[in-house]
Amino acid sequence: MEWDWEFVREIMPMLLDGLRITLLATLLGSILAAAAGLGFALLRRSKNRAVTRITGFVVEFIRGTPLLVQLYFLFYVLPELGLLLSPLTAGVVGLGLHYATYTSEVFRAGIDNTPRGQWEAAKACNLTPYQTWRHVILPQAIPPMIPALANYFVAMFKETPLLSAITVIELMSEARGVANSNYRYLEPMTMVGVLFLCISLIAVPALHLLERRFRPPR
């Protein structure tokens, strides 16, 4: 088997189309993972025991089951219950919720690290609980978490090929498509690896930059 540059040139536009979807799914999934993760973390701190327990159960349940199974459930089972999601929507929801269970731990740790004195000062300033979160706690707690969150987003990026299982035409399924119709797997699969590697290689220095930027000033 010989490497065929001509074939690579031919399939590149399709692969790049796939990469676009991969990046889109990662971006939307990351936003959802951050928002839902913060939501889980806040719910787990609720004073209402029932809320804490149910949230804890949901988080453990999602974390304890494979992402692939969750994707199948969202895309193939939910329609039978009357909720039809497009492949990309189901994929983003699956990725986002799955990683939200991990980011919620990052948020929890970050929030717990905020000194008790900050809560007390906010109370002495007579801020409401909402104002305390919005103006005092989260602006301090979130910056140190950013590197850890970004780590999860990179991990999520590398799991996007799973979305091909629910017919999202991302990088991996584009590659499999051209490979199957041309009976050549060497170039498409190699290029998938190379493209993933390129993005990851960009992400690593970006992560280091974030870590330096948000390193706590102590």
Partner 1 sequence: MTDTIIDIDRVTKRYGSHTVLQDLCFSVRPGEKLALIGPSGSGKTTILRTLMTLETIESGTIRIDGEPLFQMERNGSLVPADEAHLHRMRTKIGMVFQLFNLFPHKCVLDNVTLAPMLTKGVRKADAERRAMELLDLVGLADKARAMPAQLSGGQKQRVAIARALALQPRIMLFDEVTSALDPELVEEVLSVMRMLGSTTDMTMLLVTHEMSFAHDFADRVLFFDRGRIVEEGPPDVLFTNPTHERTQAFLKKIIAAGQRI
User: Which range binds partner 1 by CB under 8 A, 15-23, 29-37, 113-121, 152-160?
Assistant: 113-121
Residue 146 near partner 1 by CB under 8 A: no
Smallest gap from residue 210 Cβ to partner 1 (A): 17
Neighbouring C-beta atoms of residue 159, cutoff 10 Å:
17
Smallest gap from residue 117 Cβ to partner 1 (A): 4
Q: What is the CA radius of gyration of the chain?
A: 21
DSSP-H helix ranges across 45-162: 49-63, 67-72, 87-112, 116-124, 129-131, 138-159
Total residues in contact with partner 1, by rule CB under 8 A: 17
User: Which range binds partner 1 by CB under 8 A, 117-125, 165-173, 194-202, 205-213?
Assistant: 117-125
Q: Which of 125, 201, 204, 206 binds partner 1 (CB under 8 A)?
A: 125
Residue 56 near partner 1 by CB under 8 A: no
Grouping H, G, I as helix, E, B as strand and the rest as coil, residue 58 is helix
Whether residue 26 contacts residue 156, with contact meaning beta carbons closer than 8 Å, is answered with yes
Structure letter (DSSP) for residue 103: H
**Euclidean distance between CA atoms 156 and 95, whole angstroms:** 7
Residue 139 near partner 1 by CB under 8 A: yes
Place of tokens 């490497």: 3
Residue 111 near partner 1 by CB under 8 A: no
**Euclidean distance between CA atoms 91 and 28, whole angstroms:** 10
Smallest gap from residue 45 Cβ to partner 1 (A): 17
Question: Quick one: 66 or 129, whose CB is closer to partner 1?
Answer: 129
Residue 47 near partner 1 by CB under 8 A: no
Smallest gap from residue 121 Cβ to partner 1 (A): 4
Tokens of 158: 């590398």
Whether residue 170 contacts residue 79, with contact meaning beta carbons closer than 8 Å, is answered with no
**Which residues sit at the interface with partner 1, rule CB under 8 A?**
115, 117-118, 120-121, 123-128, 131, 135-136, 139-140, 217
